[in-house]
Structure 1
């Protein structure tokens, strides 16, 4: 039972909390594949409900399955609904509350409604804690004042969770009663809006596109403190969005294999070990200061910058088990072991005749036994000593024989085989396990699977492998001057070349690309676009705005996060490189010039993204070839020249100007010239790196 997205919501029964994020408010977080976007602060229930509707409408339009978990009791203890509406129908009870609850950002009628409900029950209660200065008929201020109402204090699900609270308490420390009264009308409206696309677990089968479920944000109390959010409510929604989105389809189905009662159930109640194991499988987050370069030289050498990335980055993607038919191009998360030896038994490498070797020099004559050994249809008996048997390529070598003579080197007269020796023992026969043995590690974690790997895995009897979920890379272009390719453009405008180019690169490297469009030179608009991007991306590539000018908004925004790093790389082209964390998502701010953007992406983003995807650090080596050009290079910067191979030699693009975008299409790779001063003459060896070598 797989979900593409998980939304976790911490509801509230209080009034509007104002524009500044605070505790005891409504918070939500969206998780996918074990990662969670920045928690969303929702100042009141009206804002929260609108956000939920917009978010679910968007996911529904994209065809994504969504699990929405609420830290909110979906039902009351048994007997409550029957007394109030005449039947134990939880979803009908929701509709009853929707009709009765009055709500606005600054006031609601939950206390008065609780008093009205209490009046329908014998004795005093069950609701308690009048949070208003005025007295309310039938609503006691203390729980000890209740008596004779006839209802249990907690549901079975509440009893299964240590430290859970009763839904009857309306206010005060730990109260959930107010949340329930103010939450059920919202749930009822969600059901009506999304109709058949939505179901409520466990009262309905969770086989719809949107599934609502009750959860409890204190199932993992010791882990909340590890979340990088100062407000506990924000930390909780982030943690649970990560945990529940990390569950496998089977684990989720097992958690939902609960028989419905009118009291409902809490998703994950009694199953904390399952949740912890899901969390344990997630990779650690990147540190907020992972891009902070040690103080030193103003111009950072390329090798130093690469070494810093290698030392500070690690995988950020979760894992999944896939069929080998779907595994090519994915990165192994666990070593692959041979499920059986290959070959599993001795077999013939050629068509011919098998006998017990060796065969002496001269004419050899052996009687043939009846039958043969063919691939998939082995000879079941034992070949007598001094006899031979017909055998076909790939067939198991029968007991009693160990050597095969080629059919072309033999003659058969009636039941006698004749051939000339000598032929050594074991000729033309493969030993069992000579390629792979059962239990042997055949591929290591971190390897990007090739078609050849798939063939080897299949031959070893392995049908499923554990791989990394593909890295989701967002691509965002910035600048007022940009227009989409193919649109009409004024002379002052340019077509966005970076967006399509970087998207194509990331896709070629095996990542899932999320086009983020073009951001204007407006800081607030860019901030909102980055916020949206972090909900669905593991990393973001931006182009433009990556220096220190007034319109360099990427740099300006990242500088406020505490994770900002402006790397002035000693390289040509593409000196400024901005890096930082936005809502825990790494941002690579590439130069706006397309040539510089592509070179920086190849040199820095390709290996960095590979590590984050789980593939390990890999620096492209290229190979030495004779130059077919002349160049005098000054000391100080590593230079990358657009190049291609002609007749075994390397030629470079006629212009080194980074404005000549056509050179990117003309070239098939780069010539890398190290920092020292050097003079290149035709015939001198230079290091040529094919474009394809950067992303392997």
Structure 2
């Protein structure tokens, strides 16, 4: 079975970050299926492209679809190079060798230095690589031109000899050079191959029996079709980017090929040098590209109805419902805090790490619940007169003796019941005269008394593990004789803001700058949640800087979990999600909620990281709905469900199905009144409100007086 459900074509680049605006000589990608071809996507650097590719693989695997990804750079070097470099005639050994040695970031990489190192090792500094593209620095072993160049290996692979117009992989810079693409691309393929080891096959080195295939392609095999379409679009007044057009046409061609034609193309034997998909089948590829192009033109989209709704779900996108995200969070987390022993008086607010067992019953002995007179046996209906004994029983000063039958003893609240007493009559219900006490029945045996241990018996669990100790709990523990408790250490939660645009409040703000509102807000929320807030400061939109901030917080053992704000979605400046994905422990959920949506969840060196949206209102709501229960679970206190109440609405609102909505609201005269604007940029509404109205995922029409679910801030600990 060699046909695939989805085809992706990648036009690679070995250069530095190309900036936010789409341009040529950058990285372009396109997806195609039998149903159509998507618009090409632009990536300004390799890190973003790698994140996109890894996410694509994960999504297609989860959906049970077979995926073929084509890359426009050689998967192997000419014969003999792998053996000389690694001691093995195995192209994957070269992949691994390059991955461990190449340093690559959006702004710079060491491909030229690595080429020089290989030349010095294998070719006495005169080959096989040539063309140093660094203007400001010479590199030992890597000549700028081919003068005195000596190549100990073949200049081209057999595939390149058959494909007209290809360039040698030994050229590292200059027009048409692919050497930099190979040297920066193979490490990415190596990581993807390891990360999805059981799912990825690399053609033609491995049989196509796995659901994902990586293949070497070359868009110039259909150069005639590309040129025709390029001219047509230019004549129409358009300015297409050739790289973008190429990936679109190649992806479409692969998807349009018949099963037999595709099977013929992949039926090759090139175990060491690899092969270019489609060599010898150029006419079939071109016909498939024209067929796909015709279908694309026939299926030009019509504008969708105007929704004016930035929260509308894109067609075909299944966002994660709030309840599903909460369930997955709850199932995937566990307590991470250590333990220590504290005296009860210093344990306020701490989480019990083990059950607290009563060392003494409470009450420790039967006692009186009122001030009155005690006797035995209760009293029937009618009048009763009993002799009153001298003395009394008071709290802390029990009666020393036994009370005979039909006689009574003065007893005060909290006093132990002496032997012979099991019932107490209130002092307000008696008359005293001549050393006797008179009262009317009936009075049940045991009236106005407390049994020993009726609250908590000795040996019973007074408080269970996971309890957050409040003042009332300290009273109970003290009453049952517990002096020290095993508690969890406080959860330390770091808060980090990301974004070049952020400034510290109180400083001068220039054009394009805003003050960091999220960090002080989130630090305050952490403290109100009962955890230790750790200020990790701000990080610019630079991946290396952000990684350094996260690593420092973790390696210094300053935090148990981290909240970030900004950079949680999949945009080109969203470095939080990109870094967590690169770590291999990241899940980005586009939550079907308003305000909110992007929520990045992952691990950094084993520590949980919650990537919240950058918008303060969305960050606040996501922190309450997602971070609070999750952090409570991490602290050892268990999952914290907010208390909610149904109250009448003081507003009317229609909502579409597909997302849950949280409206800032306050209770006024027992009704939930919304903030004046639902705009997520209105931070003032957070302070005006005293809770949130939660509207369900489905369609709803709320009218004044209808019951709505109200979550008071107090139920979140605020």
- TM more than 0.5: yes
1:578 to 600, 615, 620: 600
Contact 2:660 2:695 in 1 (8 A): yes
SS where residue 351 of structure 2 aligns?
A: coil
Aligned partner of 1:354 in structure 2 is: 374
2:688 corresponds to 1:688: no
2:61 matched to which residue of 1?
none
CA drift of 1:547 comes to 1.9
Query: 1:217-616 alignment to 2 at 5 Å?
Result: 298-534=318-554, 535-616=557-638
Tell me the TM-score normalized by structure 1: 0.56
Deviation at 1:491, TM superposition (A): 4.4
Offset of residue 540 of structure 1: 0.2
Give the Cα–Cα distance (whole angstroms) in 2 for the partners of residues 421 and 303 of structure 1. Answer: 59
Map 1:40-79 → 2, pairs under 5 A? none
In structure 2, how many angstroms separate the alpha carbons of the residues matched to 1:694 and 1:302? Answer: 17
Give the whole-Å Cα distance in 2 for the aligned partners of 1:375 and 1:455: 18
Runs of 4+ residues over 4 Å off in structure 1: none
How far the C-alpha of 1:533 sits from its partner, in A, is: 1.0
Instruction: For residue 416 of structure 1, report the CA deviation from its aligned partner.
Output: 2.0
Distance 2:474 2:643 in 1: 25
Do the aligned residues in 1 keep the contact of 2:628 with 2:640 (CA within 8 Å)?
Answer: no
CA distance in 2, matches of 1:695, 1:615: 14
Q: In structure 1, how many angstroms separate the alpha carbons of the residues matched to 2:668 and 2:558?
A: 43
Match of 1:605, SS? helix
Structure 2 CA distance for aligned equivalents of residues 452 and 640 of structure 1: 33
1:74-128 superposed Cα distances (whole Å, 9 cap, x missing partner):
xxxxxxxxxxxxxxxxxxxxxxxxxxxxxxxxxxxxxxxxxxxxxxxxxxxxxxx
Match of 2:690 in 1: 668
1:654 aligns with 2:701: no
Counterpart of 1:625? 647
Please say if residues 602 and 695 of structure 1, whose CA atoms lie closer than 8 Å, have aligned partners that are also in contact: no
CA gap of 1:328–1:362, structure 2 versus 1, over 3 A, is: same
SS state at 1:434 partner: coil
Secondary structure of 1:417's match?
strand
Deviation at 1:487, TM superposition (A): 2.5
The reply on whether 1:642 has 2:672 as its aligned counterpart is no
Offset of 1:435 from its aligned partner? Answer: 1.4
Task: Give the whole-Å Cα distance in 1 for the aligned partners of 2:379 and 2:599.
Answer: 71
Distance 1:599 1:331 in 2: 25
Alpha-carbon distance in 2 for matches of 1:559, 1:427:
68
Contact preservation (8 Å) 1:473, 1:514: yes
Q: Distance in 1 between matches of 2:620 and 2:336?
A: 24
Q: How many residues in Structure 1 have an aligned counterpart in Structure 2? A: 401
Deviations 1:28-56 (A, max 9, x none): xxxxxxxxxxxxxxxxxxxxxxxxxxxxx
Matches within 5 A, 1:133-282: none
Does the CA contact (< 8 Å) of 1:606 and 1:695 recur in 2? no
Once residues 573 and 408 of structure 2 are traced to their aligned partners in structure 1, the CA distance between those partners, rounded to angstroms, is 85
Q: TM-score, normalised by structure 2?
A: 0.54
Write the deviation string for residues 162-185 of structure 1: whole angstroms up to 9, x where unpaired: xxxxxxxxxxxxxxxxxxxxxxxx
- Cα offsets for 1:406-445 (capped at 9, x unmatched): 1222232242222233322211111111111111122221
Q: Deviations over 1:164-208 (max 9, x none)?
A: xxxxxxxxxxxxxxxxxxxxxxxxxxxxxxxxxxxxxxxxxxxxx
d(CA) in 2 for partners of 1:371, 1:438: 31
User: For the structure 1 residues 489 and 297, does the alpha-carbon distance in structure 2 shift closer, same or farther, using more than 3 Å as the test?
Assistant: closer
Shift of 1:539: 0.2
Q: How far is the alpha carbon of 1:450 from its aligned partner?
A: 2.1
CA offset digits 1:509-537 (Å, max 9, x no partner): 11111111111222222221111111210
Could you list the per-position Cα deviations for residues 643-695 of structure 1 after superposition, in whole angstroms to 9, with x for gaps in the alignment? 11111111111211100000110111111111111111111111111123235
> C-alpha separation between the residues in 1 aligned to 2:337 and 2:612?
23
**Whole-Å Cα distance in 2 between the matches of residues 336 and 496 of structure 1?**
43
Stretches of structure 1 that go unaligned for 5 or more consecutive residues are 1-295
Instruction: Tell me by how many angstroms 1:396 deviates.
Output: 0.3
Give the 3-state SS of the residue equivalent to 1:658 in structure 2.
coil
Which deviates the most, 311-320 or 556-565?
Answer: 556-565
Distance 1:487 1:358, change over 3 A: same
> 1:621 deviation in Å?
4.5
CA distance in 1, matches of 2:397, 2:643: 48
RMSD: 1.7
- Asked which structure has the greater RCO (Cα within 8 Å, sep 6+), the reply is 1
Q: Would the aligned equivalents of 1:368 and 1:389 in 2 still touch at CA under 8 Å?
A: yes
